Structure 1
């Protein structure tokens, strides 16, 4: 290469470096640049409010940061959990997957799942975290996309409580009908019923939807808890029909458990360790589960095992034996001889999720690791708890935990369709929309107020009671 060619090469490399540097700076500062001013929804009538001395005061800008952390934490956990999704489901029926993973398998080769033959995950040859760096784009998955759609529908329709027809219209407008549409079991059945003209809640009735006990609602509705900070009673009202789009009985109560947990994340004692707050939140959400339900008994069994300091791997093995082999506590899905022994069921995945929640002790990294290794539909519990913990520690906390920055972009069109900007959104914009939804809930359903000058919500702290779930 001559001198002129060398200079051109050096100049080109320098330009690429400069462009990359400024792009990364834009990515890292995007949240600040959008949220360093008060967020105002021009389509909402902010009313005057006289605060009461007992009102909870919540910063809207801090909440936006937490919602960003929710989307980021959920995506990290979702894509990490997908590495081991359906790798380990037990050894009952035609599909047998050998021994479950243990903590020693982290970082080691991934095993094939029940669909992949002899091939490991395409996402990672080893069991490890899956990240999108600042130049990348997070892909949507069924653990994030329906929540995204519900948030969009609430904002578009300027409502806090979606009707059955609004839900049906949203599903039909944004879910593909014929191609790979990233729906399974109860979601797919509900969608088929919608195509025939049926709307929620009829789409989850057992006589219409035989998959009503599957996992679907618990991975698509947790976000409603964040739309009602510190008021889980109201959160349950917001989530009622979206949950009953696909779930009944234990599957419904499990989904409500998650919604309550998400709402209580804004009602914690900031002076306590996150581990202690997590246990308090879980114990409180347990009140929703009828004592005679298998969901309640699953929670109690895992919680008692945790309190007894039994290793998480042993507890996971025990719930497999207790509920899938022996079919205890009314959990009888094995006798139905369903595909993969009902590996998509709400119950067994809920039990596994409580293992990762409690043994993760509020540490987002450890919680995702345990959830990824626990088995069954492993990307579901990881997504739920990655989202919750991401919210609790916020965007900055997630980045600090992992020691790096991540992409802020999200491609909803990987799995859904019909959204603006060819489906490319950002976590900061998604957080902004979430704040606007909370504005409406605080003012219209809590009887609270918004002070735009101080950028805060006033949430009346009147107490709340969680009643036992009913049929």
Structure 2
């Protein structure tokens, strides 16, 4: 029944159920979880070298299916699951698919099949930052699709993708990593979406023939079109085929319920899965302001919002990072350590700049340099026993913060060196030219074993400060610490305002809202146009449960 998943719930679920038939970033994340590392650090570059592979974009689109017509909620629900295995532009690719699934029920029925594909693409694209490599992929593929005189020549665009992102990747400012990376496979998915024109057979054929890790985007897009068609219409495309509804999940996953006790070869059915999902879906609809008529099995989805990156939870988190915000504003961020420069011998790096470069939470999604994701390590500084290590980040201006985020690096106990952690942590803020202890609530206790801990110290109340620092005794025989990021977390700005049927803002949904809508018409369907469809939508909300009267013109 849990919908919004915590780091602990995700880690527990993986430990219980996901232990076999996993590869690349999924395998890396699972290995990290076995060491006590929690999401989202399992998907950060400092811990997971495979975070830019395809993994997240083939496992998280289901959150869009759970939020029909509500891509903003889909992105919220999918956020931590996506970041369990991915970061940067790979996370953006996964977000695109989650949004795509949520948008599927909103596609205007009067569009041609080609225009439906374009509508879906453009709306999902709007949630990605223009700086992202995934946005570049979207824009390059879409531009070539529109310029192509032959709507069936998808191979022309596929060749362009190969040239730009694989063969000549470096010359174009990118890096080709592997046939199972996020980028080329995301591109092949966009090709199949656009050239497939929402035709199931055509889309699946193009996706399958695109190459690279082609089964994954193909399955994702096939599932999306299945959502649009429904099982009956999809089955009608294959009249000679009797599709199985049974599912043998225990072949690849562990400790899951058996819903078919009398069936020795399967444990579940897709129909049963769908029934179990209905409660989650209806909770999402009502939480977003939608309406449900159980007697007539009807949903009235909440008013749609104009797609934009302001709804992307990664943008909002990035905006709260002082390390990012100050640099974007043209300011300076100055990290420092109280111990002299050491020589960690390949165990992290000795340069403090790495603990304040903000790559761990950056929303931009640009091509990454793997080395930038390393962590600061004080090994080799040779400090006396009982000496505290103090790590600081100072800004060239005051910031309004309500938390301090500390992300630890790797821990070592390899028979050669032992250390990499703090025995305890105290938080201080630079105010009025002096460092002062500030009362905080710590998100999790320091773990005596697990590496890469993310700890958020929430202040009792927001403060103005020019810097933050943490201090404590270093752990281990060799007395050293590691730090992937130390950041002041800014007070969150007001979230975007969602569309509502309460047009007059009095907190009540009634006929007065219909009058208010006529006085100031608004786009409620999310198609970017204010027209009679929006009036009908407003009236449907005001006259909910009068469906028979409405459909009969009364």
TM-score band w.r.t. shorter chain: 0.5 to 0.7
Counterpart CA distance in 2 for 1:228 and 1:282 is 18
Q: Does the CA contact (< 8 Å) of 2:60 and 2:78 recur in 1? A: yes
Deviations 1:235-272 (A, max 9, x none): 11111110010111100111111111111111111222
Determine the structure 2 residue equivalent to 1:174.
Answer: 17
Which residue of 212, 233, 243 maps to 1:397?
233
Rounded Cα–Cα distance in structure 2 between residues aligned with 1:420 and 1:293: 40
Q: Deviations over 1:283-331 (max 9, x none)?
A: 1111122222221111111111111225211211221111111116866
Calculate the TM-score normalised by the size of structure 1. Answer: 0.62
Deviation at 1:413, TM superposition (A): 1.2
Matches of 2:308 and 2:295, distance apart in 1:
34
The TM-score with structure 2 as length reference comes to: 0.53
Tell me if the contact between 1:217 and 1:255 (Cα under 8 Å) persists in the aligned partners: yes
Aligned equivalents of 2:127, 2:107: Cα separation in 1 = 18
Identify the match of residue 297 of structure 1 among 136, 161, 167: 136
In structure 2, the residue matched to 1:424 is 267
Q: Higher strand proportion, which one? A: 2
Which residue of 181, 194, 197 maps to 1:358? 194
Distance 2:223 2:250 in 1: 20
Q: Does the alignment pair 1:440 with 2:283?
A: yes
CA contact (8 A) 1:233 1:464 kept: no
1:411 and 2:239 correspond? no
The correspondence for 2:178, drawn from 339, 342, 355, is 342
Which residue is 2:38 aligned to?
199
C-alpha contact (below 8 Å) 2:127/2:307 kept by paired residues: no
Give the whole-Å Cα distance in 1 for the aligned partners of 2:304 and 2:228: 23
Among 127, 140, 160, the residue aligned to 1:318: 160
Distance between the aligned counterparts of 1:289 and 1:328, measured in 2?
Answer: 23
Separation of aligned partners in 1, 2:185 and 2:37: 28
Q: What do the CA deviations read for 1:402-446 (whole angstroms, capped 9, x no partner)?
A: 223311111111211111227521111011112121012122x31
The answer for unaligned runs of 5 or more in structure 2 is: 259-263, 316-362, 364-554
Please say if residues 41 and 84 of structure 2, whose CA atoms lie closer than 8 Å, have aligned partners that are also in contact. yes
Aligned to 1:402, what secondary structure does the other structure show?
Answer: coil
2: CA distance, partners of 1:383 / 1:394: 16
In the other structure, the counterpart of 2:491 is none
Query: For 1:350-404, what per-residue CA distance to the aligned partner results, in whole angstroms no more than 9, with x for missing partners?
Result: 0111111111111101111111110000111111101001111111111111223
On the 8 A contact 1:225/1:263 being kept in 2, the answer is yes
Partner Cα separation in structure 1 for residue 173 and residue 135 of structure 2: 11
2: CA distance between counterparts of 1:286 and 1:462?
A: 16
Q: 1:267 to 1:258 in 2, by over 3 A?
A: same
Higher radius of gyration, 1 or 2: 2
Aligned: 1:459 with 2:301: yes
| Contact residue 44 and residue 87 of structure 2 kept, 8 A | yes
Q: Does 1:254 align with 2:93?
A: yes
Contact 2:129 2:309 survives alignment (8 Å)? no
- Inter-CA distance 172–316: structure 2 relative to 1 (3 Å threshold): same
Which of the two has greater helix per residue?
Answer: 1
Alpha carbons of structure 1 residues 261 and 173: separation in structure 2 relative to 1, 3 Å: same
* CA offsets 1:98-126 (integer angstroms, 9 cap, x no match): xxxxxxxxxxxxxxxxxxxxxxxxxxxxx
Residue number among 229, 239, 258 corresponding to 2:78 in the alignment: 239
* Runs of 4+ in structure 1 over 6 Å off: none
Give the secondary structure class of the aligned counterpart of 1:454.
Answer: coil
> Whole-Å Cα distance in 2 between the matches of residues 330 and 431 of structure 1?
44
In structure 1, the partner of 2:65 is 226
What SS does structure 2 have at the residue aligned with 1:434?
helix
| Map of 1:141 onto structure 2 | none
Q: Taking structure 1 as reference, are residues 217 and 329 closer, same or farther at Cα in structure 2, changes over 3 Å only?
A: farther
Preserved CA contact (<8 Å) 1:233 1:466: no
Residue equivalent to 1:133: none
CA distance in 1, matches of 2:268, 2:256: 9
In structure 2, relative to structure 1, the CA distance for the partners of 1:451 and 1:394 (3 Å cut) is same
- Give the CA deviation at 1:466: 2.6
Asked if structure 1 preserves the Cα contact closer than 8 Å seen for 2:43 and 2:51, the reply is yes
Q: Distance in 1 between matches of 2:21 and 2:171?
A: 32
3-state SS, counterpart of residue 161 of structure 1: coil
Q: Secondary structure at the match of 1:288?
A: coil
Partner of residue 276 from structure 1, selected from 112, 115, 125: 115
Structure 1: gaps of 5 or more residues: 1-157, 335-340
Q: Say whether 1:308 aligns with 2:147.
A: yes
The SS at the match of 2:292 is strand
**Alpha-carbon distance, 1:208 to partner:** 0.7
1:369 to 205, 208, 230: 205
Partner-residue secondary structure (3-state), 2:106: coil
Does structure 2 retain, via aligned residues, the 8 Å contact 1:185–1:211?
Answer: yes
> Which residue is 1:22 aligned to?
none
Closer, same or farther in 2 for the Cα pair 1:329/1:419, shift >3 Å? farther
